Amino acid sequence: MIDHSASFELEGFLTPDQIASRIPSRIRGRKVSAATVRRWQLVGLRNGQVFLNSTKIGSIRC
């Protein structure tokens, strides 16, 4: 029997949506978007000097 629940694979990891909701806002109460977190993971920030650690589990980057 195949178990279709993916919760055991993502245990201990956060998705970009979850990370974005936990980052405090800096500009007039606007939250950081998940697209910004994904960009920090792939391209980096400060001209590529700083990256967020990430790993890809299936099709989900965590």
| pLDDT tens digit sequence for 38-61 | 888 888 877 777 877 888 888 877
Structural domains in the chain (count): 1
- Residue 45 domain-assigned? yes
**In terms of pTM, does the model score above 0.75?**
no
Average pLDDT over residues 14-30: 82
Q: Find the domain containing 36 and state its range.
A: 14-22+31-53
- Residue 59 domain-assigned? no
56 touches 11 (CB < 8 A): no
The proportion of the chain whose per-residue pLDDT surpasses 90, expressed as a percent, equals 0
Phi/psi for 48 (5° steps) reads 80, 15
pLDDT band (50, 70, 90) for residue 9: low
- The Cα–Cα gap between 57 and 13 comes to 10
